[in-house]
Amino acid sequence: MSHLTHAETLVTALEGIVATAAEGLAAKSEKDGRISTALLDQHQTVAYDLASVASAVAAARHLLGYGEKGDHEAALALAYAADVAVDLQGRVAGRQSQWGLEGDVLAEVADALAAGRDPQFLADLADKVLANGEAGPRHLSEELEMVRQTFRRFAEDKVMPVAEEVHRHDRDIPENVISGLAELGCFALSIPEEYGGFSAGGEDELLNMVLVTEELSRGSLGVAGSLITRPEIIGTAILKGGTDEQKQTWLPAIASGEKMCGVAVTEPDYGSDVAGVKMSATRDGDDWVLNGVKTWCTFGGRADYLLVLARTDPDRSLGHRGLSLFVVEKPAFEGHEWKAEQDGGGSLDARAIPTIGYRGMHSFEISFDKWRVPHANLIGEDDGLGRGFYLQMQAFANARLQTAARALGVMQSALEHATGYAKERHVFDTPLADYEINRTKIARMAALIAACRVFATDVARQLARGDDDAALAASQVKQLSCRVSEWVTREAQQIHGGYGYAEEYTVSRLFVDARVLSIFEGADEVLALRVIARTLLGNALVS
């Protein structure tokens, strides 16, 4: 049988297992015709594993279409499907009853699984990957490939030369990187043309953002790969909920790069539980007075605009319905500590939080003390009261896709460094690339990257079309890609041996940078339990 036939056999079997498990868990978690969070939380371990496998299986289904394009692509599809099958086996083992399954769940597809796990098959698959450091062909249109190459050249010319310096010494992002990206229209990709952006609608409008993000993250996650994220979040919130005047005021400045952006949502006591935020916004005439503390405000120093989620209704029993979004304007600051003061006595006091990676952007804890914000800066003004949580969640769907693209860039860089080093380094008079164990690692790295890349491409088009399941898919590709990036960078570092632990080798930076990806823009466990599992089980109830 062909590689693609084996892959299709595995994916169909995996989808059936996921559907069966979802139906069983939905029955245990149902109350009054809906999924009960309290009941679902009694099965968190299985729900998390099911959500994680479901995300991987969704990517495998998308990769089958890619597998139709050639022999190498089909081999990648098979290798990935087999990898997902083994992951599922490990999660189900000893817990069949909790999954609603019996016996060897993959017994009927044993031949297909064996074909995808065969060490010689994987070693042969590594040949093309070692030849060029690419997981597989991109199959992009001429226009999209031109966009990708433009930002790849920028990353190689402007980002890579400063990446290690910024990382090792936790420097600020050089201004020539920011201004250079502004000139290329980097911050205008998702903003409509009428507001000075490049977005003209169409199925590929978000795919441009994905390609640009991957290439910049390949250069450096901290120096360039994350610069689009905050404009993406703020821009989406303004587009979805802002008044016409607010759109005309803020969006052109964001699109041109004149105003840099930060996001202030998380608080010391409330991270993923956003609905519980405490920061208060109290109306005082034509102003709102903000008091409280925000943390993990990435790029909050250099930013001119902060998107701030605050409680405008003091009745905490309202939960997320009492929250609103503000665009807070502030001076831009360099360095790791800063303070801004207003004439009326209001102040912002900030310090950067030291981190093991993702340096350059600087993530701040910011204290708001009687900081006054005009009512005109409440997104939507009167109509925006109480809609902050809703607008923020809409903005984060695109941001999750963008974070998956960041993970892809980090993984692509890790693959290139791993293959390059494996070909150059000799151990016992043999190149590392000639050892079967390294070749199977490289093949698996390529299959994982290919799956995440194809999935991200398809999700970008789903979001652009407004498909009903696009938000779920965005959460799935984010969860999968960020989790996978940790393994890919770890294996790239392992191939380097002792040098992989040395800061002089880029792969050490990639390893610590990848670690943050499963934490921000929706923590891995929260996405799995509160978004992916709930949606899967809800769909199972009505099917």
Helices within 155-228 (DSSP H only)? 160-169, 175-183, 205-219
CA dist 213 and 192 (Å) reads 19
Helix or strand (DSSP H, E) at 29: helix 3-29
Six-digit token string for 455: 């999935």
Q: How many CA atoms lie within 13 A of 419 on its CB side?
A: 21
Helices within 101-193 (DSSP H only)? 110-117, 119-132, 142-154, 160-169, 175-183
Strand 426-427 and strand 430-431: the pairing is antiparallel
What letter does residue 504 receive in the DSSP assignment?
A: T
Helix or strand (DSSP H, E) at 76: helix 71-92
CA dist 276 and 321 (Å) reads 10
Helix or strand (DSSP H, E) at 237: helix 229-241
Closest CA to 285 of 198, 372, 404: 372
Q: Is 245 a catalytic residue?
A: no
CA dist 276 and 316 (Å) reads 8
Strand 363-374 and strand 287-298: the pairing is antiparallel
CA dist 259 and 245 (Å) reads 17
Instruction: State the Cα angle at 261 between 210 and 472, rounded to 5°.
Output: 40
B/e letters for 314-342, b = 16+ CB within 10 Å, e = fewer, are eeeeeebebbbbbbbebeebeeeebeeee
Q: What is the largest CA-CA distance in the chain?
A: 78
**Which residues, 6+ apart, have CB-to-CB distance to 69 below 8 Å?**
137, 139
What letter does residue 351 receive in the DSSP assignment?
A: E
Active-site option among 205, 341, 521, 525:
521
Q: Give the Å distances, CA to CA, from 197 to 90, 188, 222, 268.
A: 47, 4, 24, 35
Closest CA to 519 of 231, 230, 214, 271: 271
CA dist 220 and 351 (Å) reads 23
What is the separation, in whole angstroms, between the first and last Cα of the chain?
33
Residues assigned a catalytic role: 521
